Structure 1
C-alpha cells in the first residue's frame, strides 16, 4: 500500500524507487502483485506517465486512510516522542543553517530519538510530493499553492555592509543615498528574480530594488559577499548575527529596519498527517523563538543610523 500510494502521488516508477530507496523492478513487481490480488487495474501506463484508473483513485482514498490509521495506531500509547519513529525528511532555507538553529534542531532529535531525520538545505523552490519531502521551512511571502502553511515565527532583516566597504564608499544616511551605493542582490529561488529590499518609513513599508552590484542565489554566499566588501546586503538577522557581533559587518539605516519577515512551515496535507511530521510541526511552533531576544539582533552601533 505504501508503494501504491507513492506511485499515485509521484506518477513515476523511477521516482518511487528513488524516494523509497529501492529498485525500480521491485516497485513494478509490487504494483503488479497488488493488481493481481485485487483483480483490477489500478494504473494506466504510458511511456511518459502513470495515471490512476477510476478504480485506482477509489482505492487510493481508502489506502490513505488505512496508512494514516496504521501510523496513528503504532504511536497510540505514547505521544511524548519516545514511541514516535520513522523517517522524516525536511528542508530549511540556507540562512537557517547556522549554529543557533542547528543546535535547536539537535534538541528535537534528542526529544524524538527514534525519528530518523533527513535534512535538506536549499533556497530553491521544492516539489514536496515529487521529491519525497515531508515539510519545508521558508522565509517571507509564500506563493499560491495547495500546500498547508503554518506560521511559526518571524525573523528580522538587517541592512549591513563591511567596514572596508563603508570606509571606501561611506555609509548611506537616507534611503535616497542607496542610489549611490553598490548593493548585493539575492536571486529568489521561488520567482527566479532578485528579491526587493524593504524599509520602514513612518511605520509604512517601502520596497527598494537593489542595484549596482553582484547577484547571488545562495544565502551563505550572499552574506559572504557583504563580508568581502562587494556592497550592502539585507539579510535575516540569524544569518548575519555572528558577523555583526565580531565587527565583520556593520548595520546601516537601522532607523529604517523593516518589519520582521514571516517564517512558515509547509506540508502537503492537513489530513492524515504522519505522526513524525505532526511532531516536528508542533515542535517548531512551540520552540521557534518568535520573541526570543537571542534571535533578534539588538540595534548595534552603526556608522549611520
Structure 2
C-alpha cells in the first residue's frame, strides 16, 4: 500500500479516541464535531479494510485487529511528536499527556509526596494515574506505561526490570504486647497474619523468608485479607495483625518505632519492580523520563 496522508490524519483521530475513551471527548480535544470524528474513523476503517472499534451505547473498545494496528502505529505517533518538538528548537520533548497504570502500593507509599519535583522539572507534562489491583489493557485504555511489582506474565508487553524491593515482616508494639513477639518465622503459623491478594493468581501471597541461601515458607492465616496495601498497613499499625510489606514504604515508621521489624536477619526475599509498555519500539521521552524518576526515588529510599 502506498502512503496515504489521510491515513495519518485518521490515526491521529483514533489515538485521541483511545486516549480519551470516547468520541465526544476526542472531538473536543482535536477540535472536530462528534460526526466528524465518526466520519474520520469510518474513512480509516475503509482504507484499512478492518473494523477498528466496537462501539455500543455503554462501551467503546478496540477490536483485536484495531488493537494490533494501534500497537504498531502508536510509537510512530510519539516519535513524530518528539521530532516536531526537536525541530521547533524546544530543548525538552517531555510534554503532553502521560497515562500511567501504577501499582497500588508504589504510588501512595513510595511516590506520593515526591511527585512535585517531577512536575517542576517537566511543567508541560500532565500525568493521569490509574491505580488498581491488576494490570489493565494498556493498548485498549490508551495507557503509555505501567509500573508494577511482580514477575511479568503478559508476553505481548515489553517489560523492563527496574529495581528490587526488600520484603519486611512487621507488627506494631501494641500487637507484640498483646500477642507476643515471634522468635522465628515458623512461629507465625500461630499468629494473626494479615493476608494480601496476589493480583495475578487472585490468591493470598505465600509468606517466604530468605537468609544466606536458606529459604523457608510458612503457612499463615488471619482474620483479614486485603487488595489495598495502604489499608493493610493501617490495620497493622492498629495492632490487628502481622503484615509482610515492601520495605520502601515503612522506613519512617520503623525509625519512629510505630512498627517493629520482626525478623531483621531474614531480609533476603526481594520483590522486583517492572516497567511495562505496549510496543517494542523505543519508548517516547515522557515514558523514559518517568521511568528514570521512579528509579531515582526507589534508590534514594
Q: Give the unaligned 5+ runs of structure 1.
A: 296-305
Residue of structure 2 equivalent to 1:299: none
Q: Any runs of at least 4 consecutive aligned residues in structure 1 with deviations exceeding 4 A, and if so which? A: 18-23, 25-28, 34-39, 45-53, 56-66, 77-81
CA-to-aligned-CA distance 1:202-253 (integer Å, 9 cap, x gap) = 4133333431331111010011111111111010112222322222211102
Q: Give the unaligned 5+ runs of structure 2.
A: 1-10
Residue 126 (structure 1) shift:
1.9
| More displaced 10-residue stretch of structure 1: 217-226 or 143-152 | 143-152
| More displaced 10-residue stretch of structure 1: 99-108 or 221-230 | 99-108
Equivalent-residue separation in structure 2 for 1:42 and 1:242 (angstroms): 58
1:29 aligns with 2:39: no
Q: Is the 8 A contact 1:82 1:114 kept in 2?
A: no
1:112 aligns with 2:119: no
Residue of structure 2 equivalent to 1:273: 283
Residue of structure 2 equivalent to 1:87: 97
Q: Is the 8 A contact 2:99 2:143 kept in 1?
A: yes
Q: Superposition RMSD on alpha carbons, in Å?
A: 3.6
Q: Out of 200, 207, 216, which is 2:217 matched to?
A: 207
| More displaced 10-residue stretch of structure 1: 177-186 or 259-268 | 259-268
How many residues of Structure 1 are paired with residues of Structure 2 in the alignment?
Answer: 284
Equivalent-residue separation in structure 2 for 1:68 and 1:103 (angstroms): 29
Equivalent-residue separation in structure 2 for 1:33 and 1:72 (angstroms): 24
Q: Is the 8 A contact 2:109 2:230 kept in 1?
A: no
TM-score normalised per structure 2: 0.78
Equivalent-residue separation in structure 2 for 1:62 and 1:178 (angstroms): 50
Residue of structure 1 equivalent to 2:3: none
Q: Check 1:117–1:42 CA distance in 2 against 1; reply closer, same or farther (3 A cut).
A: same
Residue 188 (structure 1) shift:
2.3
TM-score normalised per structure 1: 0.77
Q: Check 1:215–1:35 CA distance in 2 against 1; reply closer, same or farther (3 A cut).
A: closer
Q: Out of 133, 137, 142, which is 1:123 matched to?
A: 133
Q: Check 1:36–1:102 CA distance in 2 against 1; reply closer, same or farther (3 A cut).
A: closer
1:152 aligns with 2:162: yes
Residue of structure 2 equivalent to 1:300: none
